[in-house]
């Protein structure tokens, strides 16, 4: 089961229905939380704005999750929330919760999803600095992925 | 018959050059023979003409996509598709 959403809705851990994410055939759960940090590349950060091509982002995340289950021979559930919009330091930008039958694949699937998310999902990040400047962060080009798969 | 104004969605750093809805208008373009690689040339010319401060060679690092996939360089641009240009990504 996949439950994936990219939206401007704030993420609060207290609002996640953790019990609903577990499955009777899954004995392991693993989670990853990403949040806005106050410093990056030597600059003081006050906020981050996320931009996303939402339909393609959610579809790509589904593909990544299915790849993860396939690659690590597992089944289970994955819950993903990723923010768009402007976030202050400390706010949650991404949450990934994985349930699998055993702990080894729970760790591997969770790690695979966040690492692939960072290089394949159409989401962009703009940092706001305490000195008033802003900058869109450099990232990973998607055009090479498309042509490699041809 | 497929000639018309081509508006494409832009994201990330390209939003600095878009309208309020996140689009740039490339003007009259015949979509019937347009492929991803030729669309990139059109976009580069657009930036050279309208935003000379922008390094249009950065378009080479961008991908072209519709709502369901990133398109390969030789793929045709569909007449009905909403097209987006995607700078290098950095989510998480």
**Per-residue pLDDT, A135:** 96
**Per-residue pLDDT, A143:** 81
**What share of chain B in percent tops pLDDT 90?**
73
Return contacts of B21-27, CB within 8 angstroms, 24+ apart.
none
Work out the pLDDT band at B1, boundaries 50, 70, 90.
very low
* Residue A99 belongs to a domain: yes
Please judge whether A141 and B63 are an interchain contact, meaning their C-beta atoms are less than 8 angstroms apart: yes
Which of B41, B91, B92 would best serve as a mutation to test chain A binding (most A beta carbons within 10 A)?
A: B91
Helix, strand, coil percentages for chain B (3-state, nearest 5):
35, 30, 40
Token pair for B57: 């060679």
* Residue B67 belongs to a domain: yes
Range(s) of the domain holding residue A96: 2-140
Nearest to A142 among B13, B63, B92 (CB): B63
Judged by DSSP in three states, B41 sits in helix
**Per-residue pLDDT, B3:** 65
* Distance separating alpha carbons of residues B39 and B43, to the nearest angstrom: 6
**Per-residue pLDDT, B2:** 55
Please judge whether B92 and A142 are an interchain contact, meaning their C-beta atoms are less than 8 angstroms apart: no
Query: What CATH number does the domain containing B48 carry?
Result: 3.10.20.30
**Per-residue pLDDT, A69:** 97
Nearest to A124 among B11, B71, B72 (CB): B11
* Residue A105 belongs to a domain: yes
pLDDT tens digit sequence for A91-136: 999 999 999 999 999 999 999 999 999 999 999 999 999 999 999 9
* Residue A150 belongs to a domain: no
* Residue B28 belongs to a domain: yes
C-alpha distances in Å from residue B27, one per residue of A65, A129, B7, B79, B80: 39, 36, 8, 15, 16
Judged by DSSP in three states, B92 sits in coil
Query: Which residues from A are below 8 Å from B61, CB to CB?
Result: 141, 143
* Residue A145 belongs to a domain: no
C-alpha distances in Å from residue B64, one per residue of A32, A80, A88, B67: 30, 25, 31, 10
Please judge whether B90 and A141 are an interchain contact, meaning their C-beta atoms are less than 8 angstroms apart: no
* Residue B46 belongs to a domain: yes
pLDDT tens digit sequence for A12-63: 999 888 888 888 999 999 999 999 999 999 999 999 999 999 999 999 999 9
* Residue B92 belongs to a domain: no
Please judge whether A143 and B62 are an interchain contact, meaning their C-beta atoms are less than 8 angstroms apart: yes
pLDDT higher at A79 or A19: A79
Neighbours of B8 (CB within 10 A): 22
Query: Which residues from B are below 8 Å from A137, CB to CB?
Result: 90
pLDDT tens digit sequence for B11-48: 999 999 999 999 999 988 877 778 999 999 999 999 99
Query: What CATH number does the domain containing A105 carry?
Result: 3.90.1170.40
* Residue B30 belongs to a domain: yes
* Residue A75 belongs to a domain: yes
* Residue A35 belongs to a domain: yes
* Distance separating alpha carbons of residues B51 and A135, to the nearest angstrom: 18
**Per-residue pLDDT, B79:** 74
Work out the pLDDT band at A145, boundaries 50, 70, 90.
low
Domain count, chain A: 1
pLDDT higher at B80 or B59: B59
* Residue B91 belongs to a domain: no
Domain count, chain B: 1
* Residue A36 belongs to a domain: yes
**Longest CA span, chain A:** 51
* Residue A17 belongs to a domain: yes
Q: Classify strands B84-86 and B3-10 as parallel, antiparallel or unpaired.
A: parallel
* Distance separating alpha carbons of residues A73 and A30, to the nearest angstrom: 16
């Amino acid at each position: 089961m996949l439950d994936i959403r990219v939206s401007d809705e704030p993420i609060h851990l207290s609002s996640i229905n953790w019990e609903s994410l577990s499955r009777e055939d899954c004995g392991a759960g693993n989670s990853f939380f990403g949040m806005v940090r106050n410093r990056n590349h030597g600059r003081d950060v006050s906020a981050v704005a996320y931009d996303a091509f939402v339909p393609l982002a959610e579809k790509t995340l589904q593909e990544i999750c299915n790849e993860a289950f396939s690659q690590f021979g597992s089944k289970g559930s994955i819950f993903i929330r990723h923010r768009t919009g402007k976030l202050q330091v400390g706010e949650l930008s991404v949450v990934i919760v994985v349930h699998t039958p055993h702990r080894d694949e729970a760790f591997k699937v969770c790690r695979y999803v966040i690492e692939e998310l960072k290089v394949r999902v159409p989401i962009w990040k703009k940092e706001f600095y305490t000195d008033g400047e802003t900058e869109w962060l450099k990232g990973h080009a998607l055009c090479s992925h498309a042509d490699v798969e041809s | 018959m497929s000639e018309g104004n081509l508006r494409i969605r832009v994201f990330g750093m390209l939003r600095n050059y878009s309208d309020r809805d996140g689009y740039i208008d490339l003007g009259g373009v015949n979509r019937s023979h347009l492929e991803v690689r030729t669309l990139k040339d059109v976009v580069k010319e657009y930036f050279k003409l309208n935003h000379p401060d922008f390094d249009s060679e950065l378009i080479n690092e961008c991908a072209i996509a519709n709502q369901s996939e990133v398109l390969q360089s030789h793929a045709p641009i569909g007449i009905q598709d909403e097209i987006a240009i995607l700078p290098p990504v950095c989510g998480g």
